[in-house]
Amino acid sequence: MSIILKPFRCAHSQPMRLAWKLFCYAPLLLIFSALFVSAPLTHAQQSLPPEEEQQQRPRRVQPLEEETEAGDVLRIDTDLIMVDVSVTDAQGKPVRFLRPQDFKLYEDGVERPIAFFNMEKRDTGTRPVAIVFALDVSGSMTTEELERLRSAMTVFSKKLAEHPAVFAVMSFGMNVKTVQGFTNDPQKLDRAFERVARDPNGLSTHAFDAVDDAVRLLVNKAPRTRERRLMKRAVVVITDGFPVGDTVSPKTVIERANNSEVSVYTVTLPSYSRLLASTSDKHAPLPTPLDVSGLVEKTGGTSVYA
C-alpha cells in the first residue's frame, strides 16, 4: 500500500549542493531542521469510502463486560491512517495557514477523503523523534570523509541531546551492522561514531538493505511514545550515493517504511558530488541511485548534498 499526500499550491524546496568547507555538518543541520524545526505538521487521517467501510468488521472501541477484569487488554480497531505533512515553499520557508482543501490524499492512485485535519502548534513543544543513523563504511568512502563524518556527527549529537529523542547507529558496506542500540545518551552516541570503521575491502554498498534493517529496528526496538506523545520515526543515511549488491528492492523498502511511518533522509558525500564537474549545469545536483529510487521523496524525507 502506498499513500501520497499532495498539496495544491505549495512547492517543495529542491535538494541543495553545499560547499566542501561545510562538509557534512552543514547538511546534517539541514536534516536537523527538517526533523525538529520545520513547518508545523499537519495530521491527516484517511477513511474508507462507505461501500468499503461496510465490508470491514465492526469497530470495537470498548471492551466487552467479560473483558474488563484486571489484566485484560483494551483493543481498538480503526480504519484510519495518520499522515504527517511538513510543507515549504520554493525558498524552503514553512507554509502556514493551510486547510484540508489544500490537500489531496491518494492511496494506490485512488483519492481518499481526509477525515481529520490538525495543525500542530509550536507551543506544544518539539515532537519526540527516534532516529537511526545509517553510515556508509564501504570501500568507496575515503578515509578523509570518514574522519570528517565522525567529527560532524559528534557535533550533531550534542544538538540532538537538547531535544526529546533517542538514537541508534548502524554501519553498512557488504554487511549491515548495528553499532549502537537506541539511547538518549550523547556520550554513548559519540563512542559509537568512534567505533565506526571503514571497510577497505568492501566491494558492495548495501544502502537499501541498511534502510530496511533500520526500519525494522525502529519498529521492534524504538519506544513508540515519549512524554505522552507519538514519536516521529526517521532514518538518516550518510553515503556516497552508490548502492551496490542489495538483497531487497527499493520498492519493498519504500513500502515497509511507509507502512511503519518512517521517513528517510539522505546526505550524499563529496565522493559522489565531484561528478557534478562533468555535468553541463554546475548548479543542479546529479541524481544518485537513491534519489532515482524515490526512497526519500516517497517516504517524506529530505536529500542534501555535501
The alpha carbon of residue 251 and the mean position of all alpha carbons in its chain are separated, in whole angstroms, by 16
Domain match, 139 and 117 both: no
Q: Which residues, 6+ apart, have CB-to-CB distance to 44 below 8 Å?
A: 5, 82, 83, 85, 100, 103, 105, 114, 116, 117
Q: Within a domain: residue 110?
A: yes
Domain match, 34 and 48 both: no
End-to-end CA distance of the chain: 33
Q: What domain range is 176 assigned to?
A: 17-38+124-305
Domain match, 165 and 255 both: yes
Q: Within a domain: residue 7?
A: no
Element (H, E) at 7: strand 3-7
What is the model's pTM? Answer: 0.70
Could you tell me the CA-to-CA distances from 251 to 6, 208, 209, 302 in Å, in that order? Answer: 20, 10, 12, 18
Residues 55-74: tens digit of each pLDDT = 444 444 444 444 445 555 55
Domain match, 63 and 179 both: no
CB atoms within 10 A of CB 159: 13
Residues 99-152: tens digit of each pLDDT = 888 888 888 889 888 888 877 665 556 788 999 999 998 877 777 778 877 777
Q: Within a domain: residue 265?
A: yes
Domain match, 101 and 210 both: no
The per-residue pLDDT for 273 is 52
Residue that terminates a domain, selected from 90, 105, 121: 121
Q: Within a domain: residue 2?
A: no
Domain match, 74 and 192 both: no
- Position 263 confidence tier, pLDDT thresholds 50, 70, 90: very high
Domain match, 69 and 82 both: yes
Domain match, 153 and 130 both: yes
Q: Within a domain: residue 258?
A: yes
Q: Left, alpha or beta for 92 (phi > 0: left; psi -120 to 50: alpha)?
A: left
Residue that terminates a domain, selected from 121, 153, 169: 121
**Average pLDDT over the chain, rounded to an integer:** 74
Q: Within a domain: residue 115?
A: yes
| Higher-confidence position of 153 and 54 | 153
Domain match, 89 and 139 both: no
- According to DSSP, the residues that pair with 205 across neighbouring strands are 244
- Position 256 confidence tier, pLDDT thresholds 50, 70, 90: very high
Beta strands, E only, 50-183: 81-85, 103-107, 110-112, 114-119, 129-136, 165-172, 176-183
Element (H, E) at 234: strand 232-239
Residue 126 phi/psi, 5-degree rounding, is -70, 135
**Residue in the block written with cell 469497530:** 59
Percent of the chain at pLDDT > 90 equals: 23
Q: Within a domain: residue 8?
A: no
Residues 176-230: tens digit of each pLDDT = 999 999 998 888 988 888 888 766 666 788 999 999 999 999 999 999 988 788 8
The per-residue pLDDT for 187 is 86
Domain match, 161 and 242 both: yes
Domain match, 290 and 246 both: yes
Domain match, 227 and 273 both: yes
Query: Any idea what the CATH number is for the domain that residue 147 is in?
Result: 3.40.50.410
The structural domain count of the chain equals 2
| Higher-confidence position of 136 and 41 | 136
Q: Within a domain: residue 3?
A: no
**Residue in the block written with cell 505549495:** 10
The per-residue pLDDT for 112 is 85
Residue that terminates a domain, selected from 121, 149, 164: 121
